[in-house]
Amino acid sequence: MIRLLVAGHEAVADGSLGIEGCGGEGEICARRVDLAGASGYRAGTVSAPRSTPERVLAVIAERRLSLELGTLDICFLVALHVHGEAAGLTAFTEAQLEDVFAQASAVAQPEADQLRRRATHAIQRLRDQRMLARVDGQGVVRTGEFALSRLATGIVQFFLEEDVLTRETLGLLTHSLRIAITSVLEAARRAGDPAAWQDGVVGPLRVTITELVAGIERRQRGLDLQQEDFQAEIRRLLEADWFGAIDRCQDLLESTSATLRELNEVLLRDTSVLLGLLHDIEDLAIAAGEPDGETAAHRLMDQVDRIAAWGSARQRAWSEYFQYVHRYLRDVVRLDPTRALMQRLRDQLAGSGRRFALAYAGAPPIRLVRTVAAVPERPPVVRPRAPREREPEADAGQDPQAVLDSKVSRALGGGATALSVVTGEVTAELQGPERFVEAGRVAHTVARLARASSAIERPWVPVGDDLVIEDWSIRPGAVGAPVTAGAAGDPGSAGSAGSGGQAARRETGGGPGVDTAAGAGPARVAEPSGISGHPGNPDAPEAPPGGSR
């Protein structure tokens, strides 16, 4: 019994397993057959032509297509085929079908009764699976005539006729192929328009030549099956007649080897010629801008390549098998003609006799001594014992004002009599912006540490290259006195506010007043801290005390 796919109420249509070429490009499509009551089938494509096997398989699985044939059904089909060929029948009447079924049943199920009833069921099974097709078209008017479908014919031929590649069939096929491709090449050279390409080149390449190539491939598969049969036959011969089978085995090996060798020679010789012709057709198609012709030629070249590769692969595989069997025949069969070794070995394995162990060389791998590299010793990983966070410590640090006081005192002690002199000494090491800021602090400190006096109009005195200040005069030895304002009495009432009422300006580019702090003039002396800021320098923490420009 053969069972193909799954059971269901749908049967496959013409063609093997319902898959066949649909269209020139070789698209695969699946057909479905709906059971429409007892009247017959409506066949139609499942869907549009498909290009991928996955989609076709999905459709088949979805439709649950099936084929189920028992031995009796196959015998019935084969009997119909043989009977039709012998009698020259293209169709069978119902009576003829029943007669043929009786013959098949007599062989397959000789003891079965109710022949007519079983014949009716068998015919219906084959009709359901589209093995038998009614061909008279008379419906209920009279009894019908039936013919084997293409599917049934294919199945019968598979069992009856095994196309096997031989040197003769291969030579004939390749010769026919060569003639056909040559004529297509001529047509391609003559073709001047797309219609001529289609009729003379693409069509023959897709149908005639493809069929010939498929014929070779089919016979290759037949030969593969035959080789498998040979291998099984060799086993059967050895099992049946151990030593006596040697000659027969060698004959089988030799004949198959010779066949494969010849086939390979033919393939090697002819495939190169065929490929050359197809290559010319492909070139012409490319030159003529005919993609269909190019595709068809290219596909055929692939098929021919595959045929050649098959020949090489089979010969190589058979060669290995040939050597293996020959070694077996020589080393095992000839040396043990009574087949006693196998039995003794079986007994040994079963435990008779003393147990033993094979000895073998077991040298350890060679030890390659490597150069010693000093490994740096890393300190062991330990938990830190000391606390990670340290307690804050008191740090007296250095009071910047005290430093400034000492510098100013040192300058005053050195005999300085003017603010500009003290400022020059104290700020000599500072750069521009710091010096400008420090000048104010110096004035403030001088006012605190010495008695200074100034006229109402204080003179602007340069201190270095980049600073100009309103100058005061300082009386030596007088410390802590407020600044006085000359004729206006004692300006110290205002200057004692802390900054000394002094003004300074930073000279940039030499122009007076370009970078001068605001608040110049006597009125500013009284409010020194309010003069802070510098329009061009927002970072200045404080402006020079006193008037500045």
Partner 1 sequence: MTRPGYAQLQDVILDPDFPELDLALRRGRHIDRDDVAWYALLGDAQDHLEAFYRRYGCELVHKPDGYFYLLPTGDKLSRRQLAAGDMLVGQALALLYLQPSTVERAGRNTQEELIAQLAAVMGSDALIRAFNPKRRRYDERVAQKTVRSRVGEAVRRLAGLGFVELLDGEQLRLRPALMRFAEPVRGLSEPAEALAQLVARGEIALAEEAGTGPGANDATAEGDAEQGPHDEGEGEGDDGDLDDEHDRDDGDSP
Q: Hey, which residues between 340 and 379 contact partner 1 (CB under 8 A)?
A: 341-342, 344-351, 353-366
Both structure tokens of 57: 């398989």
Based on CB atoms, which residue is closest to partner 1, 354 or 370?
Answer: 354
x/- string (CB under 8 A) for partner 1, residues 313-332? -------xx--xx-xx--xx
> Residue with structure tokens 């189920």?
68
Q: How far apart are CA 358 and CA 425, in angstroms?
A: 107
- Burial pattern 60-79, b for ≥16 Cβ within 10 A else e, equals beebebbbbbeebbbbbbbb
Cβ 415 vs Cβ 522: under 8 Å: no
State the minimum distance, in angstroms, from the CB of residue 251 to partner 1.
15
Binding flag, residue 428, partner 1 (CB under 8 A)? no
The binder of partner 1 chosen from 58, 61, 106, 232 (CB under 8 A): 232
229-237, long-range: CB < 8 A, 24+ apart: 230/256, 231/321, 234/325
User: Residues in contact with partner 1, total (CB under 8 A)?
Assistant: 40
What single-letter amino acid sits at 275? Answer: L
The binder of partner 1 chosen from 182, 231, 257, 409 (CB under 8 A): 231
State the minimum distance, in angstroms, from the CB of residue 244 to partner 1.
13
Q: How far apart are CA 392 and CA 71, in angstroms?
A: 103
Based on CB atoms, which residue is closest to partner 1, 189 or 344?
Answer: 344
Q: How far apart are CA 44 and CA 19, in angstroms?
A: 12
User: Minimal CA–CA distance to 299: which of 5, 59, 27, 63?
Assistant: 27
Based on CB atoms, which residue is closest to partner 1, 216 or 234?
Answer: 234
Both structure tokens of 164: 């096997």
Residue 235: CB partners within 8 Å, gap ≥ 6? none
x/- string (CB under 8 A) for partner 1, residues 271-310? ----------------------------------------
First-to-last alpha carbon distance for the chain, in angstroms, is: 119
Based on CB atoms, which residue is closest to partner 1, 195 or 361?
Answer: 361
Q: Hey, which residues between 55 and 114 contact partner 1 (CB under 8 A)?
A: none
State the minimum distance, in angstroms, from the CB of residue 317 to partner 1.
9
> Residue with structure tokens 């496959």?
12
State the minimum distance, in angstroms, from the CB of residue 250 to partner 1.
13
Provide the strand spans (E) within 22-60: 28-35, 41-45
State the minimum distance, in angstroms, from the CB of residue 323 to partner 1.
8
The binder of partner 1 chosen from 3, 64, 121, 235 (CB under 8 A): 235
Q: Hey, which residues between 113 and 132 contact partner 1 (CB under 8 A)?
A: none
Stretch that binds partner 1, among 113-121, 180-188, 235-243, 442-450 (CB under 8 A): 235-243
Binding site for partner 1 (CB under 8 A): 231-232, 234-236, 238-239, 320-321, 324-325, 327-328, 331-332, 336, 341-342, 344-351, 353-366
